[in-house]
Amino acid sequence: MPKAVRCCIAGGGPAGMMLGLLLARAGVEVAVLEKHADFLRDFRGDTIHPSTLELMYELGLLEEFLRLPHQKVRRLTGQVGDVPIIIADFSHLPTRCKFFAFMPQWDFPNFLAAQAARYPTFHLRRQAEVSGVIEEAGRVVGVRATTPDGPAEVRAALVVAADGRSSTVREQAGLRPRELGAPMDVLWFRLSRRPTDPEETTGRFDRGRIYIQINRGDHWQCGYVIPKGAAETVRRGSLESFRAEVATVMPFATDRVGELRDWEAVKLLSVQVNRLPQWYRPGLLCIGDAAHAMSPIGGVGINLAIQDAVASANLLVEPLRGGGPTPDDLQRVQRRRLLPTRVIQGLQLLAQRRVITRVLAGTGPLKPALPLRIMARFPVLLRLPGRLIGLGVRPEHVKTPAVPPSVTGSPLPAR
């Protein structure tokens, strides 16, 4: 790992890896420090949006990417009580891929890492946990990290915090997000999947409960949405009654709920929705969840993180090749990405208030919300949520230059 690079990125999630790839592809010396030894984070969700697939096309990587095992989802569906609903239709998007690719989330950063490794200016250091920032005269000039070989320092013209919703870099740099509030947490667990099971990745809303099942091929990734702070109450109850509850919403898996042997198998994912008033300081930029933690509603956080990375690369490659980005350059990134973030977070907050809180409270009749009922009558309207979820607001396109990959750069294995 070099001691100095042009850009040092903390965090190898979707935001960090995408930015790392784009900068290396443009010939900028970049280091990504990822605290874990691998990309196997369960919580992230498995959605690769049509807009991200479009970016893969723009990078000339789409065909190779789609060779990874995935499921294509053209319409997002769910169930409210006993009523099946369609939430969004992607089949009319102005993109090459008119579908979501559901893919185990670790495959995506792995793929980006393998592509980035073809460029000699790319450095990925796993098991490197960024613990602090180095400051000189009020400017961030590098990071400190803990590695299996001992402490390390990397200096850079720009440090990017892409280390997620509990960002250490953001905190160490003294940036505080404004909490926008989330009424729920998620209990996250998996059950094995049989060939005779249904195929569908779907969500189910019942009185007092919301339940999500994601088809990951050989297993189901399940999310059980509970009111914020209720995890202790659930865990104080018997595991037997939790298993019975799971069997009620997934009747085909009744014979497998015993796979939940203890509460260790049921992880608590704390949902946050927040946003930094200012995403940067001299020498430092926050992107992805580090700048704006997203609710899981709509499964759009990964998309926003990737779009942030593309916008950052588009706006910062030239300054990084020159004297280094100025605060004005960094402000341009925030200005570019603020509207899309505000709109999507605003819609998530609305859904939290109007749907999630009411369903979890278990009060009132359970029927599809008015917009869903209208869309069921006029399916053409399903294109609007399809656009918001699948493309987002003001989708980004790759505008950065590409240097030829190194003939000696050795790609990492895909997994």
Ligand X SMILES: Cc1cc2nc3c(=O)[nH]c(=O)nc-3n(C[C@H](O)[C@H](O)[C@H](O)COP(=O)(O)OP(=O)(O)OC[C@H]3O[C@@H](n4cnc5c(N)ncnc54)[C@H](O)[C@@H]3O)c2cc1C
- Binding ligand X (rule: CB under 6 A), the pick from 6, 7, 8, 14 is 14
Which H, E and C letters describe the chain, residue by residue? CCCEEEEEEECCCHHHHHHHHHHHHCCCCEEEECCCCCCCCCCCCCEECHHHHHHHHHCCCHHHHCCCCCEEECEEEEEECCEEEEEEECCCCCCCCCCEEECCCCHHHHHHHHHHCCCCCEEEECCCEEEEEEEECCEEEEEEEEECCEEEEEEEEEEEECCCCCCHHHHHCCCCCEECCCCEEEEEEEEECCCCCCCCCEEEEECCEEEEEEECCCEEEEEEEEECCCHHHHHHCCHHHHHHHHHHHCHHHHHHHHHCCCHHHCEEEECCCEECCCCEECCEEECHHHCCCCCCHHHCHHHHHHHHHHHHHHHHHHHHHCCCCCHHHHHHHHHHHHHHHHHHHHHHHHHHHHHHHHHHHCCCCCCCCHHHHHHHHCHHHHHHHHHHHHCCCCCCCCCCCCCCCCCCCCCCCCC
- Based on CB atoms, which residue is closest to ligand X, 27 or 161? 161
Find the part of the chain contacting ligand X (CB under 6 A) among 10-18, 78-86, 227-235, 327-335: 10-18
Instruction: Report the residue from 5, 8, 10, 101 that binds ligand X according to the rule CB under 6 A.
Output: 10
**356 belongs to the binding site for ligand X (CB under 6 A):** no
Q: How far is the CB of 309 from ligand X (least distance, A)?
A: 8
Integer Cα distance of 407 and 392 in angstroms:
36
Name the residue nearer to ligand X (CB basis): 270 or 406.
270
When binding is defined by CB under 6 A, the residue of 104, 164, 319, 340 that contacts ligand X is 164
Binding of ligand X by 34 (CB under 6 A): yes
Phi, psi of 335 (to 5 degrees): -60, -40
Binding mask 109-138 for ligand X (x = CB under 6 A): --------------------xx--------
Output b/e per residue, 267-303; b: 16+ Cβ within 10 A.
Answer: ebbebbbbbbeebbbbbbbbbbbbbbbbbbbbbbbbb
Q: Applying CB under 6 A, does 13 fall inside the site for ligand X?
A: yes
CB of 253 to ligand X, least distance (A): 20
Nearer Cβ to ligand X (29/289): 289
Least distance between ligand X and beta carbon 80 (Å): 19
Q: Give, as ranges, the residues between 233 and 272 that touch ligand X (CB under 6 A).
A: 269, 271
Q: Which is nearer to ligand X, 27 or 307 (CB)?
A: 307
Asked whether position 44 contacts ligand X by CB under 6 A, the answer is yes
190 binds ligand X (CB under 6 A): no
Interface size with ligand X, residues (CB under 6 A): 37
Asked if residue 29 binds ligand X (CB under 6 A), the reply is no
Residue 49 Cβ, how far from ligand X at the closest point, in Å?
7
Task: For residues 1 and 333, give the distance between their C-alpha atoms in angstroms, rounded to a whole number.
Answer: 27
- Contact region with ligand X (CB under 6 A), list: 156-164, 172-180, 344-352, 358-366: 156-164
Rg (CA), the chain: 21
User: Which of 6, 7, 9, 16 touches ligand X (CB under 6 A)?
Assistant: 16
The yes or no reply on residue 104 touching ligand X (CB under 6 A) is no
Q: Is 301 in the site for ligand X (CB under 6 A)?
A: yes
Q: Which residues is 154 bridged to in the sheet?
A: 143
Distance CA 188, CA 222 (A): 6
Shortest distance (Å) from residue 269 CB to ligand X: 4
User: Under the criterion CB under 6 A, does residue 395 sit at the interface with ligand X?
Assistant: no
Q: Which stretch binds ligand X (CB under 6 A): 21-29, 61-69, 298-306, 366-374?
A: 298-306
Among 121, 215, 303, 352, binds ligand X (CB under 6 A): 303
Nearer to ligand X, 64 or 129 (CB): 129
Please list every residue from 165 through 184 that binds ligand X, using CB under 6 A: 168
Among 36, 96, 367, 373, binds ligand X (CB under 6 A): 36
Interface positions with ligand X (CB under 6 A): 10-16, 33-36, 41, 43-47, 129-130, 162-164, 168, 186, 269, 271, 288-290, 294, 296, 299-303, 305
